[in-house]
Amino acid sequence: MRVTLSRKLLAVPIAAFTLLAVTVAWQAAHPQRALADDTVTTDVSAGPASFTQPAATGNPSEYTSQLERCHTSPSYPLTGANPILSESKPGVFTSNVPLSVHVVFSGNQWYGTYSLVFTNTSSTALSVDCAVVIFRAPSKTDQHYYSNQEATGHPQSDDVEVPLGDGTSWYIVRFGFHDVPLAQRTAYPHETFTWMEGAAPSANLTLTQIRDSIQFYADLTLAGNYDLVQHYGTTRYSN
């Protein structure tokens, strides 16, 4: 009787251990995605070693001045296919000013924020007003916004999304600041500024591919990059 009882008592921890081992093995074979994932690419750099950019004249809210050259804009609807669909792309980050960039995703498998984080790698202050950013990202983004390491007035933007039909799209964005001084439109040396888009992730696009699709065009002539927004048919959006 004593032997039988001992065997029964011994069977309980053995069964529990066996169940635990099976559970651990199943979980290892079927990993679950975390509820929230934060993922970041490495930095890549582009642009010339130095640049010159004239300072815009005028004052905030002086809408005929150079400073407010992009405070507003008409929309430019296209009558045919967007030209970006037939243009060849470099496949690496490009810029007409010295910048580095990395991409950060914060969210989960259903929704998250994609942040394009730029750093001014030069020793010269960069006005990002009227700059144009072109990049590929998941389709149907439903929010977009700008931030700067310095205090900044939130810009409006001229945007267009060009779907590729695979759950991803090209985006063309021009920053359009208004009613703030030049300093709030500026990325100072070795400081960051960020463009963010909210969207559901696409299985057809990695963060590295997003990073390597980015093209950045600073406004170096005070012409407002109007040639690019007209070429790609952007729409003006409010804050």
Q: What is the pLDDT of residue 4?
A: 41
Residue 147: what pLDDT? Answer: 87
Contact 110, 140 (CB under 8 A): no
Taking every pair of Cα atoms in the chain, the longest distance, rounded to a whole number of angstroms, is 101
Token pair recorded at residue 10: 């011994």
**Does the pLDDT of residue 24 top 70, yes or no?**
no
Q: Is the CB of residue 185 less than 8 Å from the CB of residue 127?
A: yes
pLDDT tens digits for 41-94?
999 999 999 999 999 999 999 999 999 999 999 999 999 999 999 999 999 999
Task: For residue range 195-217, list pLDDT tens digits in order.
Answer: 999 999 999 999 999 999 999 99
Would the pLDDT of 218 be above 60? yes
> Mean pLDDT score of the chain, rounded to an integer?
86
